[in-house]
Every structure is written in C-alpha cells, then in structure tokens.
C-alpha cells in the first residue's frame, strides 16, 4: 500500500514560484496546472466583464478573477472567477487577501486535458458543494456551453446546460442575463 503525502497551504510557500504554473490543493492532494490557453483567458475576461458590469449596476457584491479560496489547510484553490456578496465578503476576506469562506458563485473555465477536466468536473464540484458555494458554473469554450449547478438538498446539482442562442439567468444575481455567444473568441 502506498502512502502519499498530504499537502497543506504552508507547503505551497515552499514550492518554486514559476511563471505560468498554478498550484492548488484539494483534499490534501497537490494539483499543478499550466498557464491557461488564450481561448480560456478570453472567456474568463469576457465573463468577468459581464459580472463586473452587472455588479456595478447593482452594487451587491464583488467579482474576482482567480482569487485564493483557502477553506482549510488542505483545501486551497483558485477558481477562474467568483462572485461574492458584500455581506459574505466582510466575513470571508482575510488579511492576506484570500477568501476563507465560500463565495456564492464559483466559475471554472475548462482547460484541455483529462486531468484538468477531472479536477474541475469532479474534485472542485465536490469541494465547492461541501464548502457551501450556492452556484457553480463550468464553462466549456470548446463546445460553447455553460453547465449550471445549484445548491439543492445540501449539495450542488446540475440544473441545466446553457448554450448559444439561450440566456443564462441566476437567482443569485437579480437582473443578470448572459448570452453565452458573447464569451467565445471569434474565429481569426
């Protein structure tokens, strides 16, 4: 039987700081990923802009790109985007500029590769569900869809998939409407 080390947030401080490399810990397991592709970054930027514009109109919270979510010493991740209400932000933010409690909305934009997909579709879904995230969106720019998971019966459950020609709305974000086709990079 093999015994693997259980990583913690303090171990991240010991890892080399390499440009284009992201370290995350989920259930004590270290996950290392490369710099996202241009397509991934394009979607993140557009989705972040949509959330930012909506939030400027409403003033209900804050949208952040790739914030540190430190739920516990062995659960330290950086989702692509989050939205957190002002009420929750006041209690969640720590002096290091990380969030110690779940935002209402976490968003991951898929990166190619089975390891990346497993992390976002399985491990992070379970983590965000345990930690109290109210909605989780998984954005797949390759097939131009957004899977929407909402909290029901104490866990995040898939409520639908939104694609081009449809409108994503959320009970968390009153008045927010997103047409997925505005997110994708146009063909060169």
**pLDDT digit string (tens) for 163-177?**
999 999 999 999 999
**pLDDT digit string (tens) for 62-76?**
999 988 889 988 988
Taking the whole predicted model, whether its pTM rises above 0.85 is answered as: yes
141-149 long-range contacts, Cβ below 8 Å, gap at least 24?
Answer: 141/39, 141/40, 141/42, 141/43, 141/109, 141/110, 141/183, 141/184, 141/185, 142/39, 142/110, 142/112, 144/180, 144/181, 144/184, 145/180, 146/178, 146/180, 149/125
pLDDT (average), residues 34-41: 86
Please give the pLDDT value at position 69.
Answer: 87
Residue 105's nearest CA partner among 60, 41, 43 is 60
Sketch out the chain's domains with CATH numbers.
Answer: 36-182 (3.90.1570.10)
Mean predicted lDDT score pLDDT of the chain:
91
């Amino acid at each position: 039987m093999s015994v693997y080390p259980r990583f913690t947030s303090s171990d991240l401080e010991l890892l080399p700081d390499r440009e284009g490399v992201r370290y995350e810990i989920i259930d004590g397991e270290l996950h290392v990923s490369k710099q996202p592709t241009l397509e991934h970054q394009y979607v993140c930027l557009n989705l972040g802009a949509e959330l930012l514009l909506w939030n400027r109109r409403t003033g209900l919270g804050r949208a952040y790109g790739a914030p540190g979510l430190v739920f516990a010493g062995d659960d330290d991740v950086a989702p692509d985007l989050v939205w957190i209400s002002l009420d929750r932000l006041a209690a969640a933010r720590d002096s290091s500029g990380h969030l110690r409690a779940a935002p209402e909305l976490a968003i991951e934009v898929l990166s190619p590769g089975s390891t990346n997909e497993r992390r976002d579709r399985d491990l992070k879904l379970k983590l965000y569900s345990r930690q109290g995230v109210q909605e989780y969106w998984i954005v797949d720019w390759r097939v131009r869809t957004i899977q929407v998971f909402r909290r029901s019966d104490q866990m995040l459950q898939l409520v639908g998939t939104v694609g081009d020609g449809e409108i994503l709305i959320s009970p968390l974000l009153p008045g927010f409407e997103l047409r997925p086709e505005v997110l994708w990079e146009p063909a060169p």
